[in-house]
Amino acid sequence: MIVAIPKEVELSENRVAATPATVKEFMKAGMEVNIEKDAGIASHISNIDFEESGAKIIDSSVDLYKKADVVLKVQHPTVEEISYFSSGMVFVSLFQTTRNLNEVRAMTDIHVTGFSMHLIPRTTLAQKMDALSSQANISGYKAVLVAASRLGKYMPLLMTAAGTIRPSKILVLGAGVAGLQAIATAKRLGAQVEVFDVRPIVKEQVESLGAKFVEIDSNGEGVGDGGYAKETSEEYKKKQQELIHKHIAKSDAIITTALIPGKPAPILISKNMVSDMRPGSVIIDLASENGGNCELTKKDEIIEYNSVTIDGTSNFPATMPIHASELYAKNISAFIKYMIDDGKIKIDLEDEIISGSLFTYKGEITDDTTKKAIDLNT
């Protein structure tokens, strides 16, 4: 069985789906590994590094795909890439199946077996495969560093001969993996940190990191399946907007991380709220890929409105490709090895992890959320 690792075609994507360490793991499991020439260059992994780990370097993606039984990527494949896939091939990536519908259809038409790392169930057994968490950790960390670089002031409290410098005030919206890492990083830099989340169950985690939890009495209204956030009532949203508006006006930097699985990101920061922010303030919108938590956010653009900088960078993990690739490669390697039986991939539809992450199989779309998105756009 041949595992193929192509070079990412998206210009802003610097990650790669394998490292020399995971190549060795695949080979121990009885698989051959082919890697497209220069696939790891942006992650500072040379062709020689891969060859020394036992991989074979292939000059073109077309030749790579022709020989592949399993293809591992970071981003979803393009329709052109899919045209080189073979029937029965296994494909795995961070595929956003409800957004990239043409690609889902193309893979289904030629009977590719498609898995998305976005769909890995949140269970104890699947923790090693949880690519969303490993990459969100990086996003939360890098978001605070970028915010600090854009602010025209110190983060920590400073006592100087010229007087005392007050610490910056950071507001984090959403206390998932990215939010918690943002809190921890901001606290390390000496900032005062406040946090809002619709899920009161995260209060203890937030406070354990030294941040203040800002809450609304909700009776658990915002808690969905698997601990993710879910849609809330209009009455709750009104209270939420009032509370966030109050705290935004006092903040120097805001890190937004709020997402709802399978839906556009909720708008938490209106244009009017931005107008009331301090001149020189910064918003880092980590939900920009799904529409953004700020009404003014533009994906992959950095704009200024009323002297407030709004950063819509959608792929912070790609700005830290060394560790992002290392972690993602471990996640995807753990997933592949989980399915290996006697040197071959076994598709066990009774297995929660395998069936949960599978979105197309034998010419059929198997994921309900993806199927609904396809039906709505037909």
Q: Is 199 helix (H, G, I), strand (E, B) or coil?
A: coil
pLDDT band at 225 (very low <50, low <70, confident <90, very high): low
Q: Which of 248, 254, 256, 300 is nearest to 275 (CA)?
A: 248
My answer on whether 252 and 329 are in the same domain is: no
Which of 314, 329, 344 terminates a domain? The answer is 314
pLDDT at residue 228, as a whole number: 53
Q: Is 115 helix (H, G, I), strand (E, B) or coil?
A: strand
My answer on whether 61 and 94 are in the same domain is: yes
My answer on whether 185 and 108 are in the same domain is: no
**pLDDT at 229 > cutoff 60:** no
**pLDDT at 186 > cutoff 60:** yes
The residue-averaged pLDDT of 332-340 equals 97
pLDDT at residue 234, as a whole number: 80
pLDDT band at 220 (very low <50, low <70, confident <90, very high): low
Q: Which of 177, 186, 199, 198 is nearest to 286 (CA)?
A: 177
The string of DSSP codes covering 253-270 is: EEEE----TTSPPP--B-
My answer on whether 149 and 117 are in the same domain is: no
pLDDT band at 101 (very low <50, low <70, confident <90, very high): very high
* Residue 325 in tokens: 């690739």
Average pLDDT, the chain: 94
Share of the chain above pLDDT 70, in %: 96
My answer on whether 266 and 357 are in the same domain is: no
pLDDT at residue 347, as a whole number: 95
pLDDT in tens, 259-274: 887 788 999 999 999 9
Beta carbons within 10 angstroms of residue 88's beta carbon: 11
Pairwise CA distance, residues 163 & 157, whole Å = 11
My answer on whether 154 and 251 are in the same domain is: yes
The pTM of this model reads 0.92
pLDDT band at 62 (very low <50, low <70, confident <90, very high): very high
Q: In terms of residue numbers, what domain contains 99?
A: 2-129+321-376
The residue type at 157 = L
pLDDT at residue 227, as a whole number: 52
pLDDT at residue 60, as a whole number: 96
Backbone angles phi, psi at 289, to 5 degrees: -65, -30
Check which CATH number belongs to the domain holding 288 and give it: 3.40.50.720
> Total structural domains in the chain?
2
- For β-strands 169-173 and 192-196, DSSP reports them as parallel
**pLDDT at 221 > cutoff 70:** no
The residue-averaged pLDDT of 333-344 equals 93
**pLDDT at 230 > cutoff 90:** no
Enumerate the active-site residues. Answer: 122, 127, 130, 133, 228
User: Which of these ranges, 134-143, 336-345, 358-367, has the smallest mean pLDDT?
Assistant: 336-345
Which of 268, 296, 314 terminates a domain? The answer is 314
My answer on whether 113 and 58 are in the same domain is: yes
My answer on whether 211 and 305 are in the same domain is: yes
**pLDDT at 278 > cutoff 90:** yes
pLDDT band at 330 (very low <50, low <70, confident <90, very high): very high
pLDDT band at 92 (very low <50, low <70, confident <90, very high): very high
The residue-averaged pLDDT of 99-104 equals 95
My answer on whether 180 and 31 are in the same domain is: no
Pairwise CA distance, residues 234 & 216, whole Å = 14
Pairwise CA distance, residues 308 & 172, whole Å = 16
My answer on whether 153 and 92 are in the same domain is: no
pLDDT in tens, 238-258: 888 899 999 999 999 999 999
pLDDT at residue 236, as a whole number: 79
My answer on whether 117 and 164 are in the same domain is: no
**pLDDT at 237 > cutoff 90:** no
pLDDT at residue 218, as a whole number: 62
In contact, 111 and 363? CB cutoff 8 Å: yes
